Chain A
Amino acid sequence: MRLIIVWVILRKELTETLRDRRTLMRLLLIPVLLYPLFAIAVSKLQSSDAEARADKASHVAVWGELPAALKTKLEASGKLQLLPWEGAPASVKSAVEAGSITPAVPPPEVPLDEKTLEKGSKTKIALDWTEPENPVLDAARALIEKRAVDAVLVPWPGLVASLDRGAEGPISIYFDSVRADSSLARERLGDSLDRARKDLLLERETTRGLPRGFTRAVSILPRNVAPPSRRIGQILGSMMPMMLIMMSLLGGFLPAVDLTAGEKERGTMQTLLCAPLRPIEIITGKFLAVFAISLLTALANVVSMSFTLGRILPGEGPVSPSIYVLTFALLIPVSFLFSALFLALAVFARDFKDGQNVLMPVYLPITLLTGLTALPGIELDAWTAFAPILNIALLIKALFLGEARADLVLLALGSSALYAALALLLAARVFEREHVLLGGKDTIKALFGLSRRSGGEPSAAFSITAFGTVFVLFFYGSLLLERFGPVTSLLLTQYGFFLAPAAGIVVLFGFSSRETLALRLPSPRGALAAIVLGLSAWAVAIGLLLRLVPVPESIARGLGDLLLLGGKPFILVFLVFAVTPAICEELLFRGLLFSGLRKLGPAAAVVISALLFGLAHASVYRLLPTAFLGGVIGLTRLRTRSILPGMIIHALNNGLALALLYYSPPWAGDLLARGTLPWGLTLGGCAVFAVGLALLPRKQAEAITPAGRATAP
């Protein structure tokens, strides 16, 4: 790929796009107007709604006889209109009066959920306990659903007598928590009844000569501790990710269609294809242009949003500028992913109009995914961190709430980068198929290259796509397998999600398994080098790399406890945690993935496979050592032309760590407790490691066997 050509294309596409007034409108004017208008509309709506409701009296049906004092107190507020026997069916009325229905009382061990009652939550049902179905409940529900009244109050027969006696009497309030009017009526009834109850208690204390507070014993003072910034965060966090992501994508949507389907429609695509250009140069230039416009839109939106929030929420716990910077940073992978995906799909369209039809089915799921973030209870966790778009939307939400966690950030960004790379590969693949660019059709099978090869090795794009697919499956699979306990789930994931797919893909697509997986015996010198490297790599990793990023003790200890399998024989521990990963992970990372990556050059193969190996361990603390180990093994496969030495290094490296943990020799006490290695041992280990590197065969890397042509046309 010639960067100068990519730059020429990028510059031309940007010039042309930015000369379009409609693009500029979309880019700048919409965000500048959208956020202030949105903010004003929301605050107006909310306040006017609340005001209107506050002015209106609640209509409450009273099914039964209220003590006169209580009735006066309820009516005193002026906001409660009591309607005796309103809407009560005759059968219910007579049954209540006759006392043939008694109030359903929650079991004493399940008290009312005070917390949710205090918050007056409108979305959650306030009671854990639900009243069993009965005629009174049914009648009240029907009446409230009809909106004939806002709530139904049932002072059960005998209430008056009980209160006169100085005993307890039940009153039921029937309301609908989902209806704002009904919730308000319940709040008002609750408040008034609470006040009435307090007066009654006071009166009783006085008449019986008891000390004040005798009957109350403990006064509970609930206070909302959420800081103001967090409360704003909650509002912003639930709304803003959606708006920001939708707007940034909209920024890339039309340019993507214009630069592909639009150019096809105008016949200029053909002219471009006639020029001496590689398809990858064309797609890269166009992709960068779409990506740049999408990013510009994102920037305009973030800036407009920050100004709007600064204006409408002055003094209310300001949102730190760094939050906006981070929010913009998170929009980068999202824009990248969709710029690539939009481009890849828009190519299939014949003209501009068709392009919009093609992209709509992609746009709608994004709307739904980002809309999910507005729902309470959907938060960034191990499951959602791998869901494209949703993970970034949730990450932005977490950012506004101030609760983003480092490991989940890594997962979300890592998986987003993976999806973005896959989308770009798809786009590049589409652009390789020239007749699609001229308006021809193509089958999905041909596009994804799903037809069988005869021998040879996979391409880089194939390997990365296969690896990405396997890895996402592995990720969700391992979450599902967690319930089977650590050992079973480890074995199942290793054999089921690494070994089986790696071998399966090679066989299924007809690649040469010997070449792709490097299944050949190494030279004795190569094997010796592997043993030396396997015995010393950990010293370099721990002695040098972990000094840079120390592992928190709790994590190190937790991992150690897990690995010991509660005192099973060492050979078993070794087989499960050293030999199994050595075989399974190597076949995937240094087998299938590595042979495709070699087409990008030996250095790229070692570095990319090492980075993916490090990232796959999904831990910030293990990233550096595992990537280092992956690099060493990659180099070994390159030099020895075999996968076996890598397996030896992997097994020895894991095995040594396990042996240290298992036998805990006294000299390793410091190492195990604090994860530090004395300088003497570090330097000794590095020296042995250098010997191992020197022992690696010098001869040039294995030749790449090109994949045979697809057997199907």
Chain B
Amino acid sequence: MTDTLAAAPVLVAEGLVKHFEGVAAVNGLSLTVHAGEVLGLLGPNGAGKTTTLRMLAGILPPTAGRVTLNGVDIRERPLEAKARIGFLSGDTQLYQRLTPREVLAYFGRLYSMDEARLAARIEALVHDLEMASFAGRPCATLSAGQKQRANIARAFLHEPDLLILDEPTTALDVLSGRFIVEAIRGRRAAGKAILFSTHIMSEAEYLCDRITLLHEGRAVDTGTLAELLLHTGAANLTDAFLHHVEKSRGEAAS
């Protein structure tokens, strides 16, 4: 664990703020993700997870704050930074009338991959993610689990340094969810930095090296699972999280 922290930070976010029509959805969030590390972003619905991840992926400009990827500022040089990010969200669909292979080829070209490398990557992903049986069928005919495999192949395709995964297992059955989680662990083993948001505590416990607890747009605590439990004296992650929620309620009331 300590040697991953010593590795160079891939993603650095400092003082992120996002206001929507004057209301703060994210309020002064800073975080760092290192190579070979999975950072979990944990919080209830409406905590600001999706807004944060969108800012980190460079698709939503922050009201204040700065995001760098391998030292490249994402607002100043967006194309360079975005080329190193793979993004996947749980509610993402695919192009209904294209096949998974066509979707992968389309995105490969958008990421300016050369054709030979692209073809090889598609074959490798189809094999690794066990997509051969459905890779040639229109996406409209695929099951939810098959679709999410095609989606995660799309996120892995250009071998990004950072994977941003926004609740990637939502709406999947246990088996499909576990398949995706294992695929993510595979990327960590390959030395990629991974930012993973979820509201499923068990998934976070299993997968994440470090966890940031997000509540009302702020990071209320960050650390390894053991550290979080130690800070709060709770027996599990759910209790640790509830402890912080109660604490912030108490602060707001006093």
Contact = CB atoms under 8 A, between A and B. Distances in A.
Interface in B55-85: 57-61, 63, 78-83, 85
Interface in B87-108: 87, 89, 91-98, 102, 106-107
Given A276-B111, A277-B110, A267 B93 contact: yes
A553 interface: no
Nearest to A15: B98
B82 A276 contact: yes
Contacts of A277: 79, 82, 110
Contacts of A713: 63
Contacts of B154: 271
B106 A276 contact: no
Given A267-B93, A434-B61, A275 B82 contact: yes
B134 to A, nearest CB: 17
Given A5-B110, A276-B78, A435-B60, A271 B83 contact: no
B83 A276 contact: yes
Contacts of A402: none
Contacts of A274: 57-59, 82, 85, 87
B243 interface: no
Nearest to A18: B97
A72 interface: no
B147 to A, nearest CB: 11
Given A266-B93, A268-B94, A271-B154, A8 B109 contact: yes
Nearest to A443: B21
A442 to B, nearest CB: 11
Contacts of A267: 89, 91-93
B18 to A, nearest CB: 10
A277 B110 CA distance: 7
Task: Please tell me the size bucket of the interface on A.
Answer: 20 to 34
A8 B110 contact: yes
B206 interface: no
Interface string A1-30: 000110011001001100110000000000
Nearest to B81: A276
Nearest to B138: A19
B60 A434 contact: yes
Nearest to B84: A276
Interface string A241-275: 00000000000000000000000001110111111
A519 interface: no
Contacts of B89: 267, 270
A8 B87 contact: no
B59 A270 contact: yes
B98 A16 contact: yes
B93 A268 contact: yes
Nearest to B80: A276
Nearest to A435: B60
A193 interface: no
Nearest to B22: A713
Contacts of B59: 270, 273-274, 434, 438
Nearest to B109: A8
A365 interface: no
A12 B98 contact: yes
Nearest to B151: A271
Given A270-B89, A271-B92, A434-B60, A278 B79 contact: yes
B85 A440 contact: no
Contacts of B63: 713
Nearest to A21: B97
Contacts of B98: 12, 15-16
Of the candidates A20, A267, A278, the one having the most CB atoms from chain B within 10 angstroms of its own CB is A267
Contacts of B79: 276-278
Contacts of B57: 274
A306 B96 CA distance: 36
Interface residues of B, number: 34
B124 to A, nearest CB: 20
A272 to B, nearest CB: 8
Residue in B78, B91, B95 with the greatest tally of chain A CB atoms within 10 Å: B95
Contacts of A19: 97
B95 A16 contact: yes
Nearest to B21: A441
Contacts of A270: 54, 59, 87, 89, 92
A443 to B, nearest CB: 10
Contacts of A275: 82, 107, 110-111
A444 B244 CA distance: 41
A12 B97 CA distance: 10
B216 to A, nearest CB: 20
Interface string B106-119: 11011110000000
A19 B102 CA distance: 13
Contacts of A276: 78-83, 110-112
Interface string A413-442: 000000000000000000000110010110
Interface in B8-30: 20-21
Counting chain A CB atoms within 10 Å of each CB, which of B60, B82, B106, B110 scores highest?
Answer: B110
A261 to B, nearest CB: 14
Interface string B143-159: 00000000000100000
B82 A12 contact: no
A275 B110 CA distance: 7
B20 A440 contact: yes
A31 B58 CA distance: 44
A8 B94 CA distance: 17
Nearest to B166: A270
Contacts of B92: 267-268, 270-271
B162 to A, nearest CB: 11
Nearest to B57: A274
Contacts of A278: 79
Contacts of B112: 5, 276
Contact of A8 (B96, B97, B106): B106
Contacts of A440: 20
A272 B60 CA distance: 13
A271 B60 contact: no
Contacts of B20: 440
A434 B112 CA distance: 22
A440 B102 CA distance: 30
A438 B54 contact: yes
Nearest to A271: B92
A118 B89 CA distance: 75
A105 B102 CA distance: 83
A441 B22 CA distance: 13
A278 B83 CA distance: 12
A246 to B, nearest CB: 27
A272 B94 CA distance: 11
A275 B108 CA distance: 10
Nearest to B85: A274
Nearest to A285: B110
A4 B54 CA distance: 27
A273 B53 CA distance: 13
A5 B110 CA distance: 6
A213 B93 CA distance: 89
Interface in A11-64: 12, 15-16, 19-20
What 8 pairs across the A-B complex have the smallest Cβ distances? A274-B87, A276-B82, A276-B83, A19-B97, A276-B79, A273-B59, A266-B93, A267-B92
Given A267-B92, A434-B61, 11 more contacts: A12-B98, A12-B106, A16-B96, A19-B97, A267-B91, A274-B85, A275-B107, A276-B79, A276-B80, A276-B81, A276-B111
30 contacts: A4-B109, A5-B109, A5-B112, A8-B109, A8-B110, A12-B102, A15-B98, A266-B96, A267-B89, A267-B91, A268-B94, A270-B54, A270-B87, A270-B89, A271-B87, A271-B107, A272-B110, A273-B59, A274-B58, A275-B82, A275-B107, A275-B110, A276-B81, A276-B83, A276-B112, A277-B110, A434-B60, A434-B61, A438-B60, A440-B20
